[in-house]
Structure 1
Protein backbone atom coordinates (compact mmCIF):
# COMPACT_ATOMS: atom_id res chain seq x y z
CA UNK A 1 0.00 0.00 0.00
CA UNK A 2 2.97 2.33 0.39
CA UNK A 3 3.41 2.44 -3.38
CA UNK A 4 -0.27 3.31 -3.81
CA UNK A 5 -0.04 6.05 -1.18
CA UNK A 6 3.06 7.47 -2.89
CA UNK A 7 1.31 7.47 -6.26
CA UNK A 8 -1.79 9.14 -4.81
CA UNK A 9 0.24 11.85 -3.09
CA UNK A 10 2.08 12.55 -6.36
CA UNK A 11 -1.32 13.11 -7.99
CA UNK A 12 -2.45 15.41 -5.18
CA UNK A 13 -4.90 12.97 -3.61
CA UNK A 14 -4.97 13.16 0.17
CA UNK A 15 -5.68 10.24 2.47
CA UNK A 16 -9.21 10.51 3.85
CA UNK A 17 -7.99 10.24 7.44
CA UNK A 18 -5.56 13.15 7.11
CA UNK A 19 -6.44 16.42 8.71
CA UNK A 20 -5.69 19.63 6.92
CA UNK A 21 -5.03 20.20 3.28
CA UNK A 22 -1.48 18.97 2.96
CA UNK A 23 -1.86 18.00 -0.67
CA UNK A 24 -2.86 20.75 -3.06
CA UNK A 25 -3.02 21.19 -6.79
CA UNK A 26 -1.96 24.22 -8.77
CA UNK A 27 -4.65 26.06 -10.72
CA UNK A 28 -4.26 29.00 -13.07
CA UNK A 29 -6.52 31.91 -12.17
CA UNK A 30 -7.74 34.34 -14.84
CA UNK A 31 -6.43 37.88 -14.76
CA UNK A 32 -8.61 40.25 -12.69
CA UNK A 33 -8.17 42.92 -15.39
CA UNK A 34 -10.36 42.42 -18.50
CA UNK A 35 -8.54 41.98 -21.83
CA UNK A 36 -5.29 41.39 -19.93
CA UNK A 37 -3.54 38.09 -20.64
CA UNK A 38 -3.51 35.83 -17.65
CA UNK A 39 0.08 35.60 -16.54
CA UNK A 40 1.71 33.17 -14.18
CA UNK A 41 -0.71 33.95 -11.35
CA UNK A 42 -0.95 30.39 -10.07
CA UNK A 43 -2.64 29.54 -6.81
CA UNK A 44 -2.98 26.41 -4.77
CA UNK A 45 -6.38 24.95 -4.18
CA UNK A 46 -7.22 21.92 -2.01
CA UNK A 47 -8.09 18.68 -3.77
CA UNK A 48 -11.45 17.15 -2.95
CA UNK A 49 -10.63 13.52 -3.70
CA UNK A 50 -9.73 11.04 -0.99
CA UNK A 51 -9.08 7.32 -0.68
CA UNK A 52 -9.76 4.81 2.07
CA UNK A 53 -8.31 1.40 2.91
CA UNK A 54 -9.33 -1.80 4.67
CA UNK A 55 -12.78 -2.00 6.22
CA UNK A 56 -13.56 1.55 5.12
CA UNK A 57 -12.88 0.53 1.49
CA UNK A 58 -15.46 -2.25 1.83
CA UNK A 59 -17.92 0.24 3.35
CA UNK A 60 -17.28 2.55 0.39
CA UNK A 61 -18.03 -0.37 -1.97
CA UNK A 62 -21.28 -1.12 -0.14
CA UNK A 63 -22.23 2.57 -0.31
CA UNK A 64 -21.50 2.66 -4.06
CA UNK A 65 -23.62 -0.45 -4.65
CA UNK A 66 -26.52 1.02 -2.65
CA UNK A 67 -26.23 4.27 -4.61
CA UNK A 68 -26.18 2.34 -7.90
CA UNK A 69 -29.25 0.30 -6.92
CA UNK A 70 -31.23 3.40 -5.95
CA UNK A 71 -30.33 5.16 -9.20
CA UNK A 72 -31.36 2.15 -11.28
CA UNK A 73 -34.69 2.00 -9.39
CA UNK A 74 -35.50 5.57 -10.49
CA UNK A 75 -34.51 4.89 -14.10
CA UNK A 76 -30.99 6.29 -14.20
CA UNK A 77 -28.15 4.41 -15.82
CA UNK A 78 -25.23 2.96 -13.92
CA UNK A 79 -22.58 0.32 -14.32
CA UNK A 80 -20.24 -2.03 -12.51
CA UNK A 81 -17.12 -3.04 -14.41
CA UNK A 82 -14.04 -5.02 -13.55
CA UNK A 83 -10.67 -4.62 -15.23
CA UNK A 84 -8.60 -7.78 -15.50
CA UNK A 85 -4.81 -7.89 -15.20
CA UNK A 86 -4.48 -8.00 -18.99
CA UNK A 87 -6.66 -4.89 -19.44
CA UNK A 88 -9.83 -6.63 -20.61
CA UNK A 89 -13.08 -5.55 -18.98
CA UNK A 90 -15.83 -7.70 -17.49
CA UNK A 91 -19.31 -6.73 -16.38
CA UNK A 92 -19.77 -7.22 -12.64
CA UNK A 93 -23.04 -8.41 -11.07
CA UNK A 94 -23.59 -5.30 -8.94
CA UNK A 95 -26.96 -6.50 -7.66
CA UNK A 96 -25.37 -9.48 -5.93
CA UNK A 97 -23.72 -7.40 -3.19
CA UNK A 98 -20.27 -6.46 -1.94
CA UNK A 99 -19.26 -9.93 -0.73
CA UNK A 100 -20.03 -11.49 -4.10
CA UNK A 101 -18.19 -8.73 -5.97
CA UNK A 102 -15.13 -9.10 -3.76
CA UNK A 103 -15.22 -12.87 -4.30
CA UNK A 104 -15.41 -12.32 -8.06
CA UNK A 105 -12.53 -9.85 -7.84
CA UNK A 106 -10.45 -12.41 -5.98
CA UNK A 107 -11.26 -15.33 -8.30
CA UNK A 108 -10.58 -13.30 -11.45
CA UNK A 109 -7.63 -11.32 -10.04
CA UNK A 110 -9.26 -8.02 -10.97
CA UNK A 111 -6.94 -5.04 -11.11
CA UNK A 112 -9.76 -2.53 -10.62
CA UNK A 113 -13.48 -2.45 -9.93
CA UNK A 114 -15.39 0.58 -11.17
CA UNK A 115 -18.97 1.34 -10.19
CA UNK A 116 -20.59 4.50 -11.43
CA UNK A 117 -23.74 6.38 -12.08
CA UNK A 118 -24.92 9.79 -13.11
CA UNK A 119 -22.34 12.22 -11.71
CA UNK A 120 -20.33 9.88 -9.45
CA UNK A 121 -17.69 7.18 -9.68
CA UNK A 122 -16.34 4.54 -7.31
CA UNK A 123 -12.96 2.93 -8.02
CA UNK A 124 -11.44 0.11 -5.99
CA UNK A 125 -8.17 -1.76 -6.24
CA UNK A 126 -9.38 -4.99 -4.62
CA UNK A 127 -5.96 -6.63 -4.18
CA UNK A 128 -4.67 -3.59 -2.27
CA UNK A 129 -7.95 -3.01 -0.47
CA UNK A 130 -8.09 0.70 -1.33
CA UNK A 131 -10.97 2.66 -2.82
CA UNK A 132 -12.34 6.08 -3.60
CA UNK A 133 -15.95 7.22 -4.00
CA UNK A 134 -16.40 10.71 -5.36
CA UNK A 135 -18.75 12.94 -7.22
CA UNK A 136 -17.50 13.64 -10.71
CA UNK A 137 -16.00 17.09 -11.35
CA UNK A 138 -18.48 19.65 -12.60
Structure 2
Protein backbone atom coordinates (compact mmCIF):
# COMPACT_ATOMS: atom_id res chain seq x y z
CA UNK A 1 0.00 0.00 0.00
CA UNK A 2 1.49 3.36 -0.97
CA UNK A 3 1.77 6.25 1.46
CA UNK A 4 -1.23 8.17 0.11
CA UNK A 5 -3.48 5.09 0.26
CA UNK A 6 -2.33 4.48 3.83
CA UNK A 7 -3.17 8.07 4.80
CA UNK A 8 -6.57 7.86 3.09
CA UNK A 9 -7.28 4.63 4.95
CA UNK A 10 -6.36 6.28 8.26
CA UNK A 11 -8.84 9.08 7.52
CA UNK A 12 -11.63 6.62 6.79
CA UNK A 13 -11.56 7.08 3.02
CA UNK A 14 -12.44 3.81 1.32
CA UNK A 15 -11.32 2.57 -2.09
CA UNK A 16 -14.09 2.58 -4.72
CA UNK A 17 -14.19 -1.21 -4.95
CA UNK A 18 -15.23 -1.51 -1.29
CA UNK A 19 -18.91 -1.00 -0.43
CA UNK A 20 -19.88 1.63 2.12
CA UNK A 21 -20.33 0.31 5.63
CA UNK A 22 -22.48 1.84 8.32
CA UNK A 23 -20.71 3.19 11.40
CA UNK A 24 -20.59 0.72 14.26
CA UNK A 25 -21.87 1.48 17.72
CA UNK A 26 -19.52 2.61 20.45
CA UNK A 27 -20.18 -0.57 22.44
CA UNK A 28 -18.29 -2.77 19.97
CA UNK A 29 -14.63 -3.60 20.51
CA UNK A 30 -12.11 -1.42 18.69
CA UNK A 31 -10.38 -2.80 15.61
CA UNK A 32 -6.98 -4.47 15.79
CA UNK A 33 -3.76 -2.48 15.89
CA UNK A 34 -2.22 -2.18 12.45
CA UNK A 35 1.36 -3.19 11.73
CA UNK A 36 2.39 0.47 11.89
CA UNK A 37 1.00 0.84 15.41
CA UNK A 38 -1.95 3.03 14.42
CA UNK A 39 -5.30 2.26 16.02
CA UNK A 40 -8.43 2.97 13.98
CA UNK A 41 -11.42 2.30 16.17
CA UNK A 42 -14.60 1.55 14.20
CA UNK A 43 -16.62 4.21 16.02
CA UNK A 44 -14.21 6.92 14.87
CA UNK A 45 -14.10 5.85 11.21
CA UNK A 46 -16.91 7.40 9.16
CA UNK A 47 -18.70 5.46 6.42
CA UNK A 48 -15.97 6.87 4.19
CA UNK A 49 -15.63 8.45 0.82
CA UNK A 50 -14.56 6.73 -2.36
CA UNK A 51 -11.22 7.61 -3.94
CA UNK A 52 -9.76 6.68 -7.29
CA UNK A 53 -6.51 7.19 -9.14
CA UNK A 54 -5.15 7.29 -12.67
CA UNK A 55 -7.67 7.29 -15.52
CA UNK A 56 -10.57 6.87 -13.09
CA UNK A 57 -9.47 10.07 -11.33
CA UNK A 58 -9.69 11.90 -14.65
CA UNK A 59 -13.18 10.48 -15.19
CA UNK A 60 -14.13 11.72 -11.70
CA UNK A 61 -12.80 15.18 -12.66
CA UNK A 62 -14.85 15.21 -15.86
CA UNK A 63 -17.93 14.12 -13.92
CA UNK A 64 -17.39 16.88 -11.35
CA UNK A 65 -17.00 19.50 -14.08
CA UNK A 66 -20.20 18.32 -15.79
CA UNK A 67 -22.02 18.48 -12.46
CA UNK A 68 -20.63 21.96 -11.79
CA UNK A 69 -21.73 23.19 -15.23
CA UNK A 70 -25.25 21.87 -14.61
CA UNK A 71 -25.46 23.53 -11.21
CA UNK A 72 -24.23 26.89 -12.49
CA UNK A 73 -26.63 26.68 -15.45
CA UNK A 74 -29.47 26.02 -12.97
CA UNK A 75 -28.47 29.07 -10.91
CA UNK A 76 -26.96 27.15 -8.00
CA UNK A 77 -23.59 28.03 -6.49
CA UNK A 78 -20.46 26.19 -7.52
CA UNK A 79 -16.72 26.80 -7.61
CA UNK A 80 -13.36 25.47 -8.74
CA UNK A 81 -10.29 26.37 -6.69
CA UNK A 82 -6.68 25.29 -6.73
CA UNK A 83 -4.12 25.33 -3.94
CA UNK A 84 -0.54 25.92 -5.05
CA UNK A 85 2.58 24.44 -3.49
CA UNK A 86 3.17 27.73 -1.66
CA UNK A 87 -0.32 27.57 -0.08
CA UNK A 88 -1.90 30.33 -2.16
CA UNK A 89 -5.28 29.71 -3.73
CA UNK A 90 -6.21 30.35 -7.35
CA UNK A 91 -9.57 30.34 -9.10
CA UNK A 92 -9.68 27.64 -11.76
CA UNK A 93 -11.35 27.96 -15.19
CA UNK A 94 -13.81 25.11 -14.60
CA UNK A 95 -15.82 25.94 -17.72
CA UNK A 96 -12.76 25.19 -19.88
CA UNK A 97 -12.91 21.42 -19.37
CA UNK A 98 -10.72 18.78 -17.76
CA UNK A 99 -7.74 19.16 -20.14
CA UNK A 100 -7.50 22.92 -19.56
CA UNK A 101 -7.90 22.45 -15.82
CA UNK A 102 -5.13 19.84 -15.67
CA UNK A 103 -2.92 22.09 -17.82
CA UNK A 104 -3.50 24.96 -15.37
CA UNK A 105 -2.72 22.62 -12.47
CA UNK A 106 0.59 21.70 -14.09
CA UNK A 107 1.61 25.26 -15.00
CA UNK A 108 0.75 26.63 -11.56
CA UNK A 109 2.15 23.68 -9.55
CA UNK A 110 -1.17 22.99 -7.87
CA UNK A 111 -1.12 20.73 -4.86
CA UNK A 112 -4.91 20.30 -4.77
CA UNK A 113 -7.88 21.08 -6.97
CA UNK A 114 -11.27 21.47 -5.33
CA UNK A 115 -14.51 21.63 -7.30
CA UNK A 116 -17.76 21.86 -5.42
CA UNK A 117 -21.39 22.69 -5.53
CA UNK A 118 -24.56 22.33 -3.52
CA UNK A 119 -23.95 19.30 -1.27
CA UNK A 120 -21.00 17.70 -3.08
CA UNK A 121 -17.26 18.11 -3.28
CA UNK A 122 -14.53 16.89 -5.62
CA UNK A 123 -10.90 16.96 -4.46
CA UNK A 124 -7.93 15.97 -6.61
CA UNK A 125 -4.21 15.84 -6.08
CA UNK A 126 -3.19 16.41 -9.72
CA UNK A 127 0.46 15.38 -9.35
CA UNK A 128 -0.49 12.05 -7.80
CA UNK A 129 -3.55 11.56 -9.99
CA UNK A 130 -5.75 10.74 -6.99
CA UNK A 131 -9.29 12.09 -6.60
CA UNK A 132 -12.52 11.79 -4.66
CA UNK A 133 -16.02 12.87 -5.66
CA UNK A 134 -18.70 12.37 -3.07
CA UNK A 135 -21.70 13.89 -1.38
CA UNK A 136 -20.85 16.19 1.51
CA UNK A 137 -21.39 14.66 4.95
CA UNK A 138 -24.67 15.63 6.56
Give TM-score, length-normalised by structure 2.
Answer: 0.81
- Gaps of at least 5 residues in structure 2 are 30-41
Deviations along 1:60-106, one digit per CA (max 9) or x if unpaired, are 00000000000000100100000000111000000000000001101
2:71 and 2:23 map into 1 onto residues whose CA distance is 32
2:28 and 2:111 map into 1 onto residues whose CA distance is 36
* Alpha-carbon distance change, 63 to 20 in structure 1, aligned in 2, over 3 angstroms: closer
2:25 and 2:51 map into 1 onto residues whose CA distance is 22
* Alpha-carbon distance change, 110 to 25 in structure 1, aligned in 2, over 3 angstroms: farther
- Number of aligned residue pairs: give it: 124
SS in 2 for 1:133: strand
Counterparts of residues 124-135 of structure 1 (less than 5 Å): 124-135=124-135
1:27 and 1:134 map into 2 onto residues whose CA distance is 24
Pairwise CA distance, 1:15: 1.1
What is residue 91 of structure 1 aligned with on the other side?
A: 91
Say if 1:12 and 1:25, in contact at 8 Å, map to a contact too: no
What is residue 110 of structure 1 aligned with on the other side?
A: 110
Structure number with greater Rg is 1
Across the aligned residues of Structure 1 and Structure 2, the Cα RMSD in angstroms comes to 2.2
Counterparts of residues 26-41 of structure 1 (less than 5 Å): 28=26, 41=27
- Gaps of at least 5 residues in structure 1 are 29-40
1:2 has 2:2 as partner: yes
SS in 2 for 1:12: coil
